[in-house]
Amino acid sequence: MAGLDRRRLGLLAVRYGLFLALGAWLVAMSLASEHFFTWLNFLNVARQAAPILVIAVGMTFVMATAGIDLSVGSLVALISVLIVTFFGLGLPTGVVIPAVLMLGLVSGLANGYFVQLGLPPFVVTLAMLTTLRGIAFVVSDGYATPVKDDLVLWLGRGKIGPVHTPIVLAVIVAIAGWLVLSKTRFGLYALAVGGREEAARAMGINVRGVKLAVYGAIGLLGALAGIVLTGRLGNGSPNAGIMLELEVIAATVLGGTSLFGGVATIAGTVAGALFINFVRNGLNLLGVNPFWVQVATGLILLLAVLLNTVVNRRVTEWARVLKTEEPESEAEP
Amino acid sequence: MTVPVPLIEMRNISKSFGAVVALRQVSLAVAAGEVVGLVGDNAAGKSTLMKILSGVYTPDAGEIVLDGRPQAFATPMDARGAGIEMVYQDFALVPELSVTQNIFLGRELLQGGLRSRFIDKPRMRERATHLIERLGLRVPPVDTPVRAISGGQQQAVAIARATAFDARLVIMDEPTANLAAAAIGKVRAAIGRLKSHGVAVVVISHRIEDVLETADRAVVLKHGMVVGERRINETGGDELVHMIVAGQDPLRPAGGAAGAPPG
């Protein structure tokens, strides 16, 4: 029985480790800083995390299929630049917003098209990373331009009741993502494609269609996050979203989504995005040099991958060994 | 050789891959409740023939007739829709998904009404448990991920999946190749159970013992042609092995089988 308890504890620690770490950090920071455990600060962190979470929901699906999308940060920059360019041409809001969302979708589908041909997602989206960023600089000539449109500003810094618009958007995207991933055929098929593509194909699943769809979805969500960030910054800049892809990937992997596909949860991704932003926020409140915050983010990503791969496998194997030993120990009395 | 009213007939099937001729004018009939062992050397055409039957490949020539009606299977889903299921040699299971999710993969049960796009997990779990019990197979709880169960149990899940939707013909590709001795007996018993339920079974196997143990009839392929066939109760391992190696039917002198290549 002791073996059983140890096994359960081990598995629970691995599965819910992030939630425990998040909880521990919240308690520790609340004791360390009087400004931390306040409604205002929580809203602040949630607002920071919102655009990352919006894209990370898409990344959860992409990683479920054993893929990755490195181009999302550059996409955010391109969308940001295109918004101010389109407004500069005198286009109305009702055209600009749908147009940039559509372009995000197309950019994602382009990634998906090359991936479903069999090219490695890492290389395809790395190429797209530099391509999109380059286009953003060409279009903007390197300059940031202020945005004055009311809707874009509201999406970036407005409020719905007591809560900021980006938070509301992120909550809606996360709930939709959770429903699709855990309750629909599409979510299951994304996991099946990432788990073992050949088996998915043999069972009649449209593997190419699933891949196209997940990259299309993250493109659309990247464009949405791009609109939000443009509104928050108040300008369209080709330097927007630099290194954003790494924060998104860190949040997703930290949440327990497997880099090798087949395992993914939205709840984990939400906790991962919050964790990264709470750590950053806490270090800021403690007055730590902001450059160290970047280092902390990098180390957290490394730790997350370590937990995600080596530790997770070891604990699972250890638990299985304990499980097979159980009947003997139970037979003794 | 007389075959009872065939459930399924493959007539004069030919298939080439580029310059390589995989199958020449192969015919095969299987009756309901009959177990046919498909034997032959590597590259004899066994797997290609069964992949045509299960909709993975389309034949260059020839036809498939089910219940007297010609069929055209463009995809594995078409064949599964007609009640033809395949148990793959590597089981074709997704390790990360649960036993239930694997059994229903591609054919999930959905909830009704407003939630008609949502998967009906409780109903699937219940049916998966029932299915495995009916097959007399022992498998851990149906929520366990497949990667956490043994090879024999994975085979059981693959068989449960093949029989979950009123299968009429189950094709088993080397069903004992990846199994320990204890699990082989269970697979043989499962084949017997399918037969008793009136399901036709085609077993592709290198292992002559498997065929002698489970099949009613053995069909020998070599170089993409049918060399000969035998009722199991009228033959033995030696004769089958001889046919596989020589590529000739000793009861049909050379020259009788048109174009048989010299051994």
B171 is a domain residue: yes
Strands B225-231 and A145-146: unpaired
Higher pLDDT, B261 or B242: B242
Is the pLDDT at A79 greater than 80? The verdict is yes
**Domain of residue B43, CATH code:** 3.40.50.300
Res. B4 pLDDT band, cuts 50 70 90? low
Whether residue A313 lies within 8 A of chain B, CB to CB, comes out as no
Across residues A230-247, what is the average pLDDT? 95
| pLDDT on residue B134 | 74
Q: Which of A240, A199, A268, A120 is nearest to B92 (CA)?
A: A199
| Interatomic CA distance for residues B92 and B229, integer angstroms | 30
Calculate mean pLDDT across residues B202-213.
86
Query: ∠B6-B8-B11 over CA atoms, to 5°?
Result: 100
Strand partners, A160: A163
pLDDT for the residue B104: 95
**Whether pLDDT at A329 is above 60:** no
Which of A184, A262, A320 has the CB atom closest to B94's CB atom?
A262
Q: Inter-chain contact A204–B77, Cβ cutoff 8 Å?
A: yes
pLDDT at position A201 over 80 = yes
For residues A67-90, average pLDDT:
97
Domains plus CATH for chain A? 38-311 (1.10.3470)
> Is B133 a member of any domain?
no
- Which chain A residues are within 8 Å of B148, Cβ to Cβ? 316, 320
Q: CA B247 to CA A144: how far, in whole Å?
A: 77
Stretch 221-280 of chain A: residues touching chain B, C-beta under 8 Å: 258, 261-263
Note whether residue B120 is domain-resident: no
* Chain B partners within 8 Å of A180 (Cβ): none
Q: Cβ–Cβ of A192/B86 closer than 8 Å?
A: no
Is the pLDDT higher at A114 or at B166? A114
Question: Which ipTM was obtained for this model?
Answer: 0.86
Residue A260, pLDDT > 80, answer: yes
Q: Is the pLDDT score of A304 beyond 90? A: no
Whether A205 and B106 lie within 8 Å, measured CB to CB: yes
Per-residue confidence (pLDDT) for residue A1, from 0 to 100: 46
In-domain check, residue B90: yes
Predicted pLDDT at B43: 82
Q: What is the CA radius of gyration of chain A?
A: 21
User: Does B176 map to a domain?
Assistant: yes
Nearest to A185 among B75, B91, B119 (CB): B119
CA distance B23 to B224: 4
Chain A residue numbers touching B105 (CB-CB < 8 A):
188, 192, 199-200, 203, 205
Closest CA in chain B for residue A323: B148
Which residues from chain B sit within 8 angstroms of residue A183, using beta carbons? 117-119
Confidence band (pLDDT; 50, 70, 90) for A140?
very high
| Measured distance CA(B7)–CA(A150) in Å, rounded | 70
Cα–Cα distance, B216 to B4 (Å, whole number): 12
pLDDT of A319 reads 63
pLDDT at B15 over 60: yes
Supply the mean pLDDT for chain A: 90
Q: Is residue B214 in a domain?
A: yes
Model pLDDT, residue B254: 53
Tokens 């992997």 found at: A253
- Weakest mean pLDDT among A62-66, A103-107, B98-102, B228-232: B228-232
The yes-or-no verdict on residue B260 having pLDDT over 70 is no
Does A106 have pLDDT greater than 50? yes
Per-residue pLDDT at B118: 95
- Average pLDDT of chain B is 85
Predicted confidence at residue B200, as pLDDT, reads: 94
Report the distance separating Cα A1 and Cα A37, nearest Å.
40
The amino acid that residue B104 corresponds to is: F
The predicted pLDDT at position A118 comes to 95
In chain A, the percentage of residues whose pLDDT exceeds 70 is 92
- Give the pLDDT confidence score for residue A332 in this predicted structure: 32
Domain-embedded: residue B88: yes
Chain A residues in contact with B86 (beta carbon < 8 A): 202
Apex CA A151: angle with CA A76 and CA A177, to 5°? 55
Which residue of A184, A185, A202 is in closest CB contact with B92?
A202
Residues from chain A contacting residue B141 (CB–CB below 8 Å): none
B182-201 per-position pLDDT tens digit:
778 888 888 888 888 889 99
A204 in contact with chain B, both atoms CB, cutoff 8 A: yes
Which comes out higher in pLDDT, residue A164 or B156?
A164
Closest by CA position to B31, among listed B215, B246, B161, B225: B215
Interface residue of B57, B94, B150 to substitute, partner A, most A CBs within 10 Å? B94
Query: Once rounded to an integer, what is the mean pLDDT over residues B239-246?
Result: 82
Q: Which segment of A142-146, B113-117, B167-171, B255-259 scores lowest on mean pLDDT?
A: B255-259
Check pLDDT > 80 for residue A167: yes
Average pLDDT of span A74-81: 98
Q: Which of B232, B243, B211 is nearest to B41 (CA)?
A: B243
Rounded-to-integer distance, Cα B84 and Cα B65, Å: 12
Which region among A50-54, A56-60, B217-221 has the lowest average model confidence (pLDDT)?
A: B217-221
Angle between helices A39-64 and A165-183 (to 10 degrees): 30
On the question of pLDDT at B42 being above 70, the answer is: yes
Residue B257 scores a pLDDT above 70? no
Mean pLDDT of A51-59: 98
**Which residues constitute the domain of residue B54?**
15-95+149-246
| Phi-psi region at B166: left, alpha or beta (left = phi > 0; alpha = psi -120 to 50) | left
> Is residue B252 included in any domain, yes or no?
no
CB contacts under 8 A, A 153-192 vs B, are 179, 183-185, 188, 191-192
B109 touches chain A (CB under 8 A): no
CB B34 within 8 A of CB B196: no
* pLDDT tens column, B128-162: 998 888 776 666 788 889 988 888 888 889 988 99
Q: Is the Cα dihedral B139, B143, B144, B146 positive or negative?
A: positive
Length of chain A: 333
Cβ-Cβ contacts under 8 Å, B91 against chain A: 199
Q: Is B97 within 8 Å of A195 when comparing Cβ atoms?
A: yes
Of residues B223 and B245, more confidence is placed in B223
Closest Cβ–Cβ partner in A199, A261, A320 for B93: A199
Average pLDDT over residues B48-69: 91
Q: How many domains does chain B have?
A: 1
